[in-house]
Amino acid sequence: MARVLVTGGAGFIGSHLCRRLLADGHEVLCLDNFFTGRKRNVEALVGNPRFELIRHDVVEPFMLEVDRIYNLACPASPVHYQYNPVKTVKTSVLGAIHVLGLAKRVRARVLQASTSEVYGDPAVHPQPESYWGHVNPNGPRSCYDEGKRVAETLFFDYHRQNGVDIRVVRIFNTYGPMMLPDDGRVVSNFIMQALKGAPLTIYGEGKQTRSFQYVDDLVTGMVKMMEQDGFVGPVNLGNPGEFTMLELAQKVLQLSGSSSKLEHRPLPPDDPRQRRPDISVARQRLGWEPRVPLEEGLVRTLEYFRKQVAEGHA
């Protein structure tokens, strides 16, 4: 049993990770400032004697005795990370400095939740870890993309300079229960719109592609990466299935039985045109690959949002 800190633990991915770590027998400290996280995401865990919820902002230093740190604190939806872009940069950069300083002091192993956004609007397709990316340094997405890139730099520099035991995963678009209904990302938008009978908002022509990974697959990959020895990463964690936004909209309509129409909206600036992970490294080094196909994951996510709507939470 280890004592594990999860920053951003009340968010979408963090809450699934906390639940998995408790099920694996660990003690879990969930630290969050509740910017995009909710107490409701972890309410089923509160009361477990091995679970602790801490309200704190990673921009401020903190000291805890832990063996493992998963650093997830950072808004992930473009709507939320662009709401206060300066804060987003501070969260990624100061947050990384604080978890790395803590890991150095207490000799904890620390895993960074990096992102496929480090590849920007990629000129190489699919994206292997060796690709350095194609990122605008001063556009509306830069606060997130460059913040995450600096965080990776800090992780590797603390590792080389101070011997900190790091792990870096690059997460591709992930979806599932516990996403906020008004999160702003495409899967939750389409599902909520379909359930309400509102038009599905397609940005641009809808021909841009993404690869969608169900959250349970991601959590398995993150834990595998954390618990193996000898490989610090970076490693892509994503589902190589690639879909256009029009295809995703059709799937949501079909699975929900909704008769919503499609409505085109302007394409946001710097929106990546294509994205698909090369997961050879994860397959080889972790023996990991995703198991949940898009349709199955969408059905589970639809069920969750239906229940949220029925219970008045959405």
User: 26 with 1: CB under 8 angstroms?
Assistant: yes
Under the binding rule (CB under 6 A), the answer on residue 33 touching ligand NAD is yes
Identify which range of 8-16, 62-70, 204-212, 290-298 contacts ligand UDP by CB under 6 A: 204-212
Under the binding rule (CB under 6 A), the answer on residue 203 touching ligand UDP is yes
Long-range contacts of 120-127 (CB under 8 A, 24+ apart): 120/145, 120/270, 120/272, 121/270, 121/271, 121/272, 121/273, 122/272, 122/274, 122/275, 125/274, 125/276, 126/240, 126/242, 126/276, 126/277, 126/278, 127/236, 127/275, 127/276, 127/277, 127/278
Residue entry with tokens 């909209």: 249
Identify which range of 7-15, 119-127, 245-253, 287-295 contacts ligand NAD by CB under 6 A: 7-15
- Of 39 and 261, which has the nearer Cβ to ligand NAD? 39
201 touches, from ligand UDP, ligand NAD, none (C-beta below 5 to 8 Å by class):
ligand UDP
Phi-psi region of 163 (alpha: psi -120 to 50; beta: other; left: phi over 0): left
Q: How far apart are CA 157 and CA 61, in angstroms?
A: 19
Site string for ligand UDP, 109-148 (x = CB under 6 A): ----------------------------------------
Cβ contacts of 12 within 8 Å, gap of 6 or more:
36, 41, 76, 174, 176, 178, 179, 180, 183, 215
Annotated catalytic residue within 70, 81, 144, 158? 144
Is 144 marked active-site?
A: yes
Under the binding rule (CB under 6 A), the answer on residue 201 touching ligand UDP is yes
**From the list 14, 184, 206, 297, which residue makes contact with ligand NAD (rule: CB under 6 A)?**
14
Site string for ligand NAD, 58-97 (x = CB under 6 A): xx------------xxxxx--------------x------
**From the list 148, 149, 185, 276, which residue makes contact with ligand UDP (rule: CB under 6 A)?**
185
Q: Is the peptide bond before 140 cis (omega within 30 degrees of 0)?
A: no
Identify which range of 122-130, 151-159, 198-206, 304-312 contacts ligand UDP by CB under 6 A: 198-206
The residues in 220-279 that bind ligand UDP, with binding defined as CB under 6 A, are 245, 268, 271
Sign of CA dihedral 297, 300, 306, 310: negative
User: 232 with 159: CB under 8 angstroms?
Assistant: yes
As annotated, the active-site residues are 144
Binding site for ligand NAD (CB under 6 A): 7-8, 10-14, 32-37, 57-59, 72-76, 91, 113, 115, 171, 173-174
Instruction: Tell me which residues touch ligand UDP (CB under 6 A).
Output: 77-78, 173, 185-186, 189, 201-203, 206, 208, 210, 245, 268, 271
